[in-house]
Structure 1
Amino acid sequence: MSLVVMAAALFAAAPSVTPSADSLTPITIRMQAMVGNTPFQCGKEYPGIGTSGATITASDFRFYVHNVRLVTARGDTVRAAMAPQSPWQDREIALVDFENGAATCANGTPEMHPEFTVLAPAGDYQGVAFTVGVPFARNHSDMATQGPPLSLSRLFWSWNAGYKFLRVDMRATRPDSAATAWVIHLGSTGCTGAPGAKAPTSCTHGNRPEIALSGFNPTRDVIVADLGALLSRSDVRRNQPQTAMGCMAAPNDADCGGLFASLGLTHPNTTGADTPKFFRVERATATSSSR
């Protein structure tokens, strides 16, 4: 049984606990961006990516998380609130930022935030779950009135669609031509509202990945976001004709199939449950996976 399947079963079976406010302590969930077994870095070339073995260079790598839950050693699920840390976190949402505004990431920010901090009772935790994205209630507000971390225009898609939950921009090198752009912009699609509504009332595809990882101890482990795994079933040297470059979450874009499978989302062109997963757990001092 895979880590993700085991973790999903663990969280489904575990009773939920809501802690009292006076018993909370900050707990930091550390994350690391990798491309396979190589640490991610703006401007660095990564060969052998995807189904065509392309070489890529990234220019952005950021995503939002919310709805964090921790699982104790005895199986209780504890809902954790975000610890407000401007400009990266408010009480509900955190921005995880792996780019540093340097080299190819010049349109980003020099500051990075490869972690998020939650408030929960001190304890022996052995699992974590979270949702990638922005909650529906806040996804479709006017960005001009939003405070951080929802005030970044590069992560805002449109008033109707809301935010880009995950943004990865890159260039894929073809052996016979110049580098070509290929991006991952994950967000809600098919968003519509009632006549006269100031915001959408529903989206046919929410596209908020639910991530559950077992064997995770925040004092010892790190969550790896592996761009190589995310792209493993994609050909980043090509783009489906008459669609956005790369994947912008459209249900009719076959380029999204492998990415959605890696994130645990459904898509008409999914590449299956055996697709390597974007997130995994590793020891903070080691490079080997804990799966």
Structure 2
Amino acid sequence: MNKHWMLVSGLCLGLAACLGGGVGVSDSPSPNPDSGQPAADPGYGGGNTTVRFALKSGNQAVNCNSLLSGIGVSQAQAKLTEGMIYVHDVVLINSRGQEVPLQLDQGSPWQFLNLALLDFAGGSCKQPGVDNNKPLAGSNSEVVGSVPAGAYTGLSFKVGVPVSAKNAKGEDVALNHQPAHKPPHPILGVYWLMWEWQSGHRFMRVDLAPEGGVKRQDGSSNDKWAFHLGSTDCQADSAVVGGYRCGKPNRVKVRFDQFNPRQDRVVLDLQSLFAGSDVARDDSADFGCKSNVTDQECQTLFRQLDLRLDESSPGGNDGGQPLTDGRHSKVFRLEKI
């Protein structure tokens, strides 16, 4: 054997020993916790699960009466006076791409069947004495439940109140359309989320009070600019649970392919929601948007939410439907807890 080759080989082995063993070509070094490189995520294993949400304006945490800056095309300053959304059909997505429903904890006062109410503003923003229906105490930014053991890598949910859901006996329970003052659960009896003129509920309510108010060309003004999302074009139909069928459901689908509830939370970003809106003026029928297909203000907001406001063509029957599969939301994002 060539003695020069033996010398080089021995030198290489010695260096490997000094360095704590050789590093093969196929091996990857362990990430340095101080390097900013994330460790490989094995996924979420299931069990008791909390999906956390947050309301923000850009990077600013938002709660009742927060003063927000840089809102909309006029970069307005505005105070948050309401911030509530319903979410349902919360599912974790396993490594095979299957959607596994999060079984919601029915002991939570903020949850009923497959529906949860997120109240970011909290009871201090409510007007006492408006109605006999009292607000739930405090705020809520979590959906709690459980999923079977598994390997979960994603999350999906919908913003809105479903038409119905099955109870523990397998019976259909009307949710969005039910007697306004006899709700099956307190989260469906919050007065300022009822939408009786549409025979249902507001799925998302975000009200802002911009500095200087909301102006119109005719000189009139209002103190608030409000966004109320809900099903529209609703007609009585005894064949449907709850007795109403809505031509435009307006339920928002959101999906994240990478999500771990131990590490991530879902953010609703108000700067993104109102990015194309001018909350300091409005010349349409409403001060803001009430999901009306003829309201120009709603065009921009629905586009941000990835929703089709009206039918794409006469008779298209696609009004109020998601534009995509929810993977590219402009309004909802993930951030590390």
| Structure 1 and Structure 2 fold alike (TM over 0.5) | yes
Q: Is the 8 A contact 1:141 1:159 kept in 2?
A: no
**Deviation sequence 1:160-194 (CA, Å, 0-9, x none):** 43001101111112499887310011111110125
Structure 1 residue aligned with 2:159 = 132
- CA pair 228-85 structure 1, distance change in 2 beyond 3 A: farther
Q: Is the 8 A contact 1:221 1:281 kept in 2?
A: yes
Structure 1: any 5+ residue segments left out of the alignment?
1-23, 285-291
SS in 1 for 2:300: helix
Write out aligned runs for 1:181-260 (5 A): 181-194=224-237, 200-241=243-284, 243-260=285-302
The more displaced of 192-201 and 214-223 is 192-201
Residue 81 of structure 1, CA deviation: 2.4
Q: Is the 8 A contact 2:70 2:76 kept in 1?
A: yes
Structure 2 residue aligned with 1:283 = 336
Could you tell me how far apart the structure 2 residues matched to 1:52 and 1:170 are?
A: 14
Structure 2 residue aligned with 1:172 = 210
Q: Which TM-score applies when normalising by structure 1?
A: 0.79
Give 2:115's aligned amino acid: I
1:81 aligns with 2:123: no
1:92 aligns with 2:114: yes
Could you tell me how far apart the structure 1 residues matched to 2:300 and 2:199 are?
A: 22
Give the percent of matched residue pairs that are identical in Structure 1 and Structure 2.
Answer: 33
SS in 2 for 1:118: strand
- CA pair 33-39 structure 1, distance change in 2 beyond 3 A: same
SS in 2 for 1:149: helix
Structure 2: any 5+ residue segments left out of the alignment?
1-45, 129-134, 165-174, 216-220, 313-322
Q: Is the 8 A contact 2:214 2:225 kept in 1?
A: no
Could you tell me how far apart the structure 2 residues matched to 1:82 and 1:197 are?
A: 25
Could you tell me how far apart the structure 2 residues matched to 1:59 and 1:175 are?
A: 13
Could you tell me how far apart the structure 1 residues matched to 2:306 and 2:277 are?
A: 15
**Deviation sequence 1:32-60 (CA, Å, 0-9, x none):** 11001110022221121101111110111
Report the structure number with the largest CA radius of gyration. 2
Q: Is the 8 A contact 1:42 1:105 kept in 2?
A: no
Could you tell me how far apart the structure 1 residues matched to 2:56 and 2:241 are?
A: 40
Write out aligned runs for 1:269-280 (5 A): 277-280=330-333
RMSD: 3.0
The more displaced of 261-270 and 224-233 is 261-270
Structure 1 residue aligned with 2:307 = 265
Could you tell me how far apart the structure 2 residues matched to 1:81 and 1:254 are?
A: 39
SS in 2 for 1:259: helix
SS in 1 for 2:186: coil
Residue 86 of structure 1, CA deviation: 3.6
Q: Which TM-score applies when normalising by structure 2?
A: 0.69
Could you tell me how far apart the structure 1 residues matched to 2:60 and 2:290 are?
A: 26
Write out aligned runs for 1:3-14 (5 A): none
